[in-house]
Chains A and B, each alone.
Chain A
């Protein structure tokens, strides 16, 4: 998610095959990945187990509404609402954010924990099923709480999961900060082999400490960004809050086409935040 993006992405459709993570059944990923042993302690979570039609817990979440400035900085097409058709529990243990098409206009939803919860360092994870179709842009991401005072990108942005609906098998993990934002962030993709992220739940997470941020899909690290890797200032020693949204169109993803199936849903089973126990 880019707060203010001037997108200079070139579209490399097959770039993902350069990074091939073959997950072999019967093989533990730990056999391949030597990760430090951690002892995570749950701090905050939302399991989204309310009755169907209910809004997210107001003690935890607040809503972004409307079309923002220039489509939330990215020429996005949707208007965010607090309408149960766009955001509500499904009664089966999920929060569902639904993008709807009404002729050439779109509605969807964006929720965030700004002012309600934020944390510096730890493990931040969500289990979810992505939407699909050209122009669909779901995201699970974080912003530095200092956005109100220092602005973007100085506050820092951690995109734990973003997906372009025309590439339903590829997700992206990204950092935006001063000197490396918009079309020039620190980013990496992760692609499934002969599968797609909208077929079933997957767990998307980061593990973040003073030295580094690791990006995970299903407990597999596909990107590690160390403090010294950052081409600008390391702005990740401050509390960040969480966001979920489903954008339609915009610089990052392109426009939906007449063939894009609607409605589309971002189905979130849970979001959990841990800190490292001593």
Chain B
């Protein structure tokens, strides 16, 4: 249904107030409480008495008109509906309701019928009755009714005619463009009828499924998925969506759960279980809700972390960062459903049919570099048949694969809140947490079929995290023009041909090249000293600086040397350890008296493990 805004309603008084005739005389003794007129006609060759029309908000107000040219069976007039093209400034769709000021008693009729055709084959989004522009208690809707260019009779069954003893909503429709294109459809001979050729009614709540939900005192849940199906005279079934008011809801045990006439279930006691079912007239509806009440709700412990140290995804105790979803319904393998609930303002995530489920927070991603732990509260409402294997994955944008942490949850831990307080250090493969965007819960064995979660957040425990032993990110990309560079080692420039990055000078240092996000980086492990033999003698006297990017978490001393024949060598001391990449441009004058017209080697001396990139001379 499109939302109806009363501000947009235009009332058209259609027709005159007609005399409402009762066909038989009645004895005074037969008189029962005043009955409303039972006129079944809505539009035959014109409007029936007392009918109003209102266009829905946002629709083209003039979409409906009376047509005297295109009519069913050559009758005087039909109802014409012009569906707009997409982008029509007058409105996005055609839609409105026909309703009476004085209610009608339609309880003698079991179907709304009409003839319809269209200027093209189409599926009308919404057709139905029971929309009185007010409470619309007994609304019936058919979705996607197919029409084509031939007149055809359509039947919308009334689920329980006895409910329509005072109905004002005669007919309503809503249809948008088909493939962005407008078209026209016509409806004629619109009326209620009593058809003996409608058979085999079936009714459903919860779409006919039996659902079991573990719950607590104070939790409310609205029954949905209300459907009815009738076999039409053509032998095929017509499904309609109907409002809760057609159903009589029952609870098998009101001391556990009650249900009101709107289908809202409230858990009132426990422990124990109650079945919520429904009937329409004498017919039992398929589907029921089995409420298994645990009793009083035991809230998760209130988090005690300082909000300043927390990045919260889901908690009523903290302000949460933007989260795309708490259940991605990832097709095709995910079975996990959500049945989130609220108790006294405390929101709880509830995952059922659990195999895996993802929480995503990609806009923006979360930089948890300053955080030390992932925390959440977990509650398994059912008794575990055996120990559960539970895995938590964190996904960082730009990092291949996900980081994971697995934990066994023992049978004895079910039906109580479990504080999951996990250091990032315990995640396997968490090389970077600066752009986290997904948290995934995975069941690794079939024992844990549902759980509640609350207070999901990252926090910093105040203890500085140990520095990483390897850079997470590559060195900054150089910006100096290639023409102004003589490069020794960099992905950004052509290096001096024939350079030996690991000449055998009797050193203990182990030299390797690693790739950081595809960027080649030079790694010296266990540095004592290490040379670089340039492929040819270089005259860098036109250059002004030696550039280096370096990174080390554990070195206490590193020096870099330039060497010219003699050998003439001069050192320059780097500041280590670093907190990330350090970029240094060392004036070549620092290396005097090395001959800048004839540089043949570089050398590093020191200790620890260091990473180097973008070693070049420039001006």
Separation of A140 and B231 alpha carbons in the complex (Å): 23
With contacts A168-B199, A194-B195, A196-B199 known, is A133 near B231, CB below 8 A?
yes
Residues of A within 8 Å of B231, CB to CB, are 132-133, 168, 198, 261
B236 within 8 Å of A (CB atoms)? yes
Residues of B within 8 Å of A192, CB to CB, are 196
Q: Is the CB of B197 within 8 A of A168?
A: yes
With contacts A134-B235, A257-B236, A261-B237 known, is A195 near B200, CB below 8 A?
no
B233 within 8 Å of A (CB atoms)? yes
Q: Which residue of A lies closest to B194 (CB)?
A: A194
A214 within 8 Å of B (CB atoms)? no
- Give A247-262 interface residues, CB cut-off 8 Å to B: 257, 259-261
Q: Which residue of A lies closest to B237 (CB)?
A: A261
Q: Is the interface of B mostly helix, strand, loop or mixed?
A: loop
Q: Which 10 A-B pairs have the closest CB atoms?
A: A194-B196, A259-B236, A195-B196, A133-B235, A166-B235, A165-B235, A132-B235, A134-B235, A199-B199, A261-B237
Q: Is the CB of B195 within 8 A of A166?
A: no
- Give A234-273 interface residues, CB cut-off 8 Å to B: 257, 259-261
A159 within 8 Å of B (CB atoms)? no
Q: Which residue of A lies closest to B193 (CB)?
A: A194
Q: Is the CB of A166 within 8 A of B234?
A: yes
Q: Is the CB of A198 within 8 A of B199?
A: yes
Residues of B within 8 Å of A260, CB to CB, are 235-236
Separation of A168 and B236 alpha carbons in the complex (Å): 10
With contacts A132-B231, A261-B231 known, is A196 near B196, CB below 8 A?
yes
Q: Which residue of B lies closest to A259 (CB)?
A: B236
A207 within 8 Å of B (CB atoms)? no
A160 within 8 Å of B (CB atoms)? no
Number of residues from A at the complex interface, CB < 8 A: 20
Q: Is the CB of B196 within 8 A of A132?
A: no
Residues of A within 8 Å of B199, CB to CB, are 132, 168, 196, 198-199
Could you name 26 residue pairs across A and B whose Cβ atoms are closer than 8 Å? A132-B200, A132-B231, A133-B235, A134-B235, A136-B235, A165-B235, A166-B235, A167-B235, A168-B197, A168-B231, A168-B233, A192-B196, A193-B196, A194-B195, A194-B196, A195-B197, A196-B196, A196-B233, A198-B199, A198-B231, A199-B199, A259-B236, A260-B235, A261-B200, A261-B231, A261-B237
- State the Cβ distance, B158 to closest chain A Cβ, in Å: 16
A76 within 8 Å of B (CB atoms)? no
- State the Cβ distance, B341 to closest chain A Cβ, in Å: 36
Separation of A192 and B194 alpha carbons in the complex (Å): 15
Q: Is the CB of B233 within 8 A of A133?
A: no
- Give B204-253 interface residues, CB cut-off 8 Å to A: 231, 233-237
Q: Is the interface of A mostly helix, strand, loop or mixed?
A: loop
Q: Is the CB of B236 within 8 A of A134?
A: yes
Q: Which residue of A lies closest to B202 (CB)?
A: A261
Number of residues from B at the complex interface, CB < 8 A: 12
Q: Which residue of A lies closest to B198 (CB)?
A: A196
Q: A132-B235, A192-B196, A257-B236 are in contact. List 16 more A-B contacts (CB 8 A).
A: A133-B231, A133-B236, A167-B235, A168-B231, A168-B233, A194-B195, A196-B196, A196-B197, A196-B199, A196-B233, A198-B199, A199-B196, A260-B236, A261-B200, A261-B231, A261-B236
A169 within 8 Å of B (CB atoms)? yes
Separation of A165 and B233 alpha carbons in the complex (Å): 10
User: Which residues of B pack against A, CB within 8 Å?
Assistant: 194-197, 199-200, 231, 233-237
Residues of B within 8 Å of A168, CB to CB, are 197, 199, 231, 233, 235
Residues of A within 8 Å of B196, CB to CB, are 192-196, 199
Residues of A within 8 Å of B200, CB to CB, are 132, 198, 261
Separation of A132 and B237 alpha carbons in the complex (Å): 10
Q: Which residue of B lies closest to A258 (CB)?
A: B236
Residues of B within 8 Å of A133, CB to CB, are 231, 235-236
Residues of B within 8 Å of A198, CB to CB, are 199-200, 231
Q: Which residue of B lies closest to A165 (CB)?
A: B235
Q: Which residue of B lies closest to A13 (CB)?
A: B234
Chain A 168-209 per-residue mask, 1 if CB under 8 angstroms from chain B, else 0? 110000000000000000000000111110110000000000
Residues of B within 8 Å of A194, CB to CB, are 194-197
Q: Which residue of B lies closest to A195 (CB)?
A: B196
Separation of A192 and B196 alpha carbons in the complex (Å): 9
Q: Is the CB of A134 within 8 A of B234?
A: yes
Separation of A167 and B235 alpha carbons in the complex (Å): 7
Separation of A16 and B231 alpha carbons in the complex (Å): 20
Q: Is the CB of B236 within 8 A of A169?
A: no
Residues of B within 8 Å of A259, CB to CB, are 236-237
- State the Cβ distance, B140 to closest chain A Cβ, in Å: 19
Residues of A within 8 Å of B235, CB to CB, are 132-134, 136, 165-168, 260
Q: Which residue of A lies closest to B234 (CB)?
A: A166
- State the Cβ distance, B92 to closest chain A Cβ, in Å: 31
- Give A104-163 interface residues, CB cut-off 8 Å to B: 132-134, 136
Separation of A132 and B234 alpha carbons in the complex (Å): 9
Residues of A within 8 Å of B236, CB to CB, are 133-134, 166, 257, 259-261
Separation of A134 and B235 alpha carbons in the complex (Å): 6
- State the Cβ distance, B451 to closest chain A Cβ, in Å: 37
Residues of A within 8 Å of B194, CB to CB, are 194
Residues of B within 8 Å of A193, CB to CB, are 196
Find the residue from A169, A195, A196 having the highest chain B CB count within 10 A. A196
Separation of A136 and B199 alpha carbons in the complex (Å): 16
Residues of B within 8 Å of A165, CB to CB, are 235
Residues of A within 8 Å of B234, CB to CB, are 134, 166
- State the Cβ distance, B132 to closest chain A Cβ, in Å: 29
Separation of A195 and B198 alpha carbons in the complex (Å): 8
Residues of A within 8 Å of B233, CB to CB, are 168-169, 196
Q: Which residue of B lies closest to A194 (CB)?
A: B196
Separation of A132 and B394 alpha carbons in the complex (Å): 55
Separation of A134 and B199 alpha carbons in the complex (Å): 14
Separation of A133 and B196 alpha carbons in the complex (Å): 16
Find the residue from B195, B236, B237 having the highest chain A CB count within 10 A. B236
- State the Cβ distance, B558 to closest chain A Cβ, in Å: 72
- State the Cβ distance, A195 to closest chain B Cβ, in Å: 4
Separation of A132 and B233 alpha carbons in the complex (Å): 9
- State the Cβ distance, A110 to closest chain B Cβ, in Å: 21
Separation of A257 and B235 alpha carbons in the complex (Å): 10
Separation of A193 and B195 alpha carbons in the complex (Å): 10
- State the Cβ distance, B311 to closest chain A Cβ, in Å: 51
Separation of A132 and B196 alpha carbons in the complex (Å): 15
Q: Which residue of B lies closest to A200 (CB)?
A: B199
Residues of B within 8 Å of A195, CB to CB, are 196-197
Separation of A133 and B230 alpha carbons in the complex (Å): 12
Residues of B within 8 Å of A169, CB to CB, are 197, 233
Separation of A192 and B231 alpha carbons in the complex (Å): 16
Separation of A196 and B237 alpha carbons in the complex (Å): 15
- State the Cβ distance, B113 to closest chain A Cβ, in Å: 13
- State the Cβ distance, A256 to closest chain B Cβ, in Å: 10
- Give A195-227 interface residues, CB cut-off 8 Å to B: 195-196, 198-199
Separation of A196 and B194 alpha carbons in the complex (Å): 14
Separation of A260 and B233 alpha carbons in the complex (Å): 12
- State the Cβ distance, B237 to closest chain A Cβ, in Å: 5
Residues of B within 8 Å of A167, CB to CB, are 235
Q: Which residue of A lies closest to B229 (CB)?
A: A261
Separation of A199 and B195 alpha carbons in the complex (Å): 13
- State the Cβ distance, B194 to closest chain A Cβ, in Å: 8
Residues of B within 8 Å of A134, CB to CB, are 234-236
Residues of B within 8 Å of A132, CB to CB, are 199-200, 231, 235
Separation of A261 and B234 alpha carbons in the complex (Å): 12
Residues of B within 8 Å of A166, CB to CB, are 234-236
Separation of A194 and B237 alpha carbons in the complex (Å): 18
